[in-house]
Structure 1
Amino acid sequence: MNRMRNAALAGAMAMAWALPTQAEQLIYGFQAEQLEYRQGDGEDSFVWDFDALIGTDEQKLVWRSEGERVQGAGGFETLENQLRLQFPVSTFFDAVVGIQASTPDGLPDRYNAVLGLKGLAPQWFEIDADLYLSDNSFFRFEGEYEAMLTNRLILTPNLELTVPLQDDLAYDQAAGGATIEAGLRLSYDLIDRAVSPYIGVNYERSYGGTADLIRAAGDENGTFSVVFGTKLMF
């Protein structure tokens, strides 16, 4: 929990430094795309993925946090925090520069510079493509689409692709050995878009050399989970 408090403090300090100095309209917000409990084969976990932002239309500072805490394990299987500066480069896309820290329990800490692109592709697909640069570089692509079944009922498929560019044996990552995580969630806008409970499924599997490292470590490659959670936005 100290890591989370330290990350939150760092994010708050950086956000304060990024306040606009001119008479620009200040905007801020919080959005949790995933705040969920996952039930899998013999292993349950709590997962979150949220952004908190402050800034203007021309420049935003974003604190992004993602993590997974396995039930009964007493630690974070994954824990990732980023500070990202976003600024528009076209009508539908923002460029991203920032820093990322990966600090799960039981593994060495990793720190990366981040360069990326975030926005809306044709047909209103939300995408986030980022290059993480360090001695353990990797590329990550995230995409999702919201299909409006009714004014309140929304079906959201999502896909996340992570491709290591260098071997990182401590993290069971081999260069070129991609990991794919795919999900499908059905949400209901209980209070406008502010609170949206959902149910769904999630599947994650690695390929190539990464899959070989996972099997060599005695871990299962290919995990399916049923998820229960809520989206938050304010």
Structure 2
Amino acid sequence: MIFTRHPSRILLLALASVGMNAALAQSHTSHDSHDGHGASASPAAITAMDAVDAMDDHASGSPAPMNHGAMDHGSMKMDSGSAAPADARDPHGYSNGYTLDTGPYARKDISALMMSDMHSFGSFLVDRLERVHTRDGNSIAYDTQGWIGDAYDKFYLKAEGDIERGRVGDSRTELLWSHAITPYWDSQLGLRVDVGSNRPGRNWLAFGVQGLAPYWFEVEATGYVGEQGRTALRLAAEYEVLLTQRWVLQPRVEANLYGKEDPDLGIGRGLSSAAYGMRLRYEFSRQLAPYVGIERNQRFGRTASYVRGAVGNAGETRLVAGLRILF
């Protein structure tokens, strides 16, 4: 039935068969003469086959086939002699690789592009800048940290303290070198300096870890070694509860322990003080978020005795309002 409707198909098929046989014969001849390097089909065979395909496409209504011979794949080439460097993080260790001969990236080495973890970044966070209201009066408290570095190594600057009546009451400043030990944890090593008005200063060697614990708790654990055999340990943890995309509730707890009594600063041995509370903030953006909150500050042990002798109260509840700023 098919050949009755298309009598010319028999002739075309015969021509295609003859052309293919001639191409095969030529291919075998070329194979013998060039020792394994094959040759392409003859132009006559390709023309006959294209004519049959064109007739089939015309009968079925499909478009003509693409001429793949018009595509030029020679513009991209690979140098097989390129080798990986000794340090995979070195962007200059790859000598060759893929190159483009045409286009806007002509003759540029693609493999020399730097990965994202090879760049240096920086950030500065004012986690707490707040007005504190207590029974004894008002003060300003701050807690900031900034860093600069790459994905593996960073330099941190941390500062925390309070200001009363225009003077710095207690402040802690740390300069730390941070190194990634796991995807979620960094080790830290550096110096801590404590200063305050009408109080002797203290210098410490600091070492610890900082990162994300399971269930996304942000944790800091830092040990300190000071002069005259003084030691200390600071633990802090916080968590962010997303009530909505803009309302965030942030519980927080911090504890300070000392290995030696320091009467000049009113600090006893063991668990000295702890602060726990929560803050509710509204994020106009990730860079700016006002908040309000409540916090309990409590002294323990010998430190509580020193505080009672000075102000008569070892614990206080604070109402706070402030800003969280990210640069």
TM-score band w.r.t. shorter chain: 0.7 to 0.9
DSSP 3-state at the match of 1:150? coil
- 8 Å contact kept, 2:305–2:314: no
User: 1:208 maps to which residue?
Assistant: 301
Q: Which has the larger radius of gyration?
A: 2
- 8 Å contact kept, 1:137–1:164: yes
Q: CA RMSD in A?
A: 1.3
User: 2:269 maps to which residue?
Assistant: 175
Q: Does 1:130 align with 2:225?
A: no
User: Which of 82, 104, 107 does residue 196 from structure 2 map onto?
Assistant: 104
Q: In 2, distance between residues paired with 1:214 and 1:228?
A: 25
Following superposition of structure 1 onto structure 2, how do residues 28-47 of structure 1 map, counting pairs within 5 Å? 28-47=122-141
| Deviation at residue 225 of structure 1 after TM alignment | 1.1
- 8 Å contact kept, 1:99–1:114: yes
Aligned length: 210
| 1:141-160 deviation line (CA, Å, top 9, x unaligned) | 00000000001100000000
Q: In 2, distance between residues paired with 1:217 and 1:183?
A: 25
User: 1:59 maps to which residue?
Assistant: 153
Decide which moves more: 22-31 or 143-152: 22-31
Q: In 1, distance between residues paired with 2:290 and 2:166?
A: 26
Q: Give the number of the structure with larger relative contact order, counting CA–CA contacts within 8 Å between residues 6 or more apart.
A: 1
What is the letter of the counterpart of residue 210 of structure 1?
T
| Deviation at residue 218 of structure 1 after TM alignment | 3.7
Unaligned runs of 5+ in 2: 1-91, 93-113
| Deviation at residue 167 of structure 1 after TM alignment | 0.7
What is the letter of the counterpart of residue 193 of structure 2?
A
| Deviation at residue 219 of structure 1 after TM alignment | 4.2
Q: In 1, distance between residues paired with 2:262 and 2:305?
A: 13
- 8 Å contact kept, 2:145–2:158: yes
Identity in percent: 26
- 8 Å contact kept, 2:294–2:319: yes
Q: In 1, distance between residues paired with 2:320 and 2:233?
A: 26
DSSP 3-state at the match of 1:217? helix
- 8 Å contact kept, 1:138–1:162: yes
Unaligned runs of 5+ in 1: 1-21
What is the letter of the counterpart of residue 119 of structure 1?
G
User: 1:223 maps to which residue?
Assistant: 316
What is the letter of the counterpart of residue 147 of structure 1?
V
Q: In 2, distance between residues paired with 1:54 and 1:157?
A: 27
| Deviation at residue 220 of structure 1 after TM alignment | 2.2
Q: Does 1:196 align with 2:284?
A: no
Q: Residues 88 and 168 from structure 1, CA distance in 2 versus in 1: closer, same or farther, beyond 3 angstroms? A: same
Q: With structure 1 as the length reference, what TM-score do the two structures score?
A: 0.86
User: 1:7 maps to which residue?
Assistant: none
User: Which of 74, 78, 84 does residue 166 from structure 2 map onto?
Assistant: 74
DSSP 3-state at the match of 1:78? strand
| Deviation at residue 215 of structure 1 after TM alignment | 1.4
DSSP 3-state at the match of 2:303? helix
What is the letter of the counterpart of residue 195 of structure 1?
L
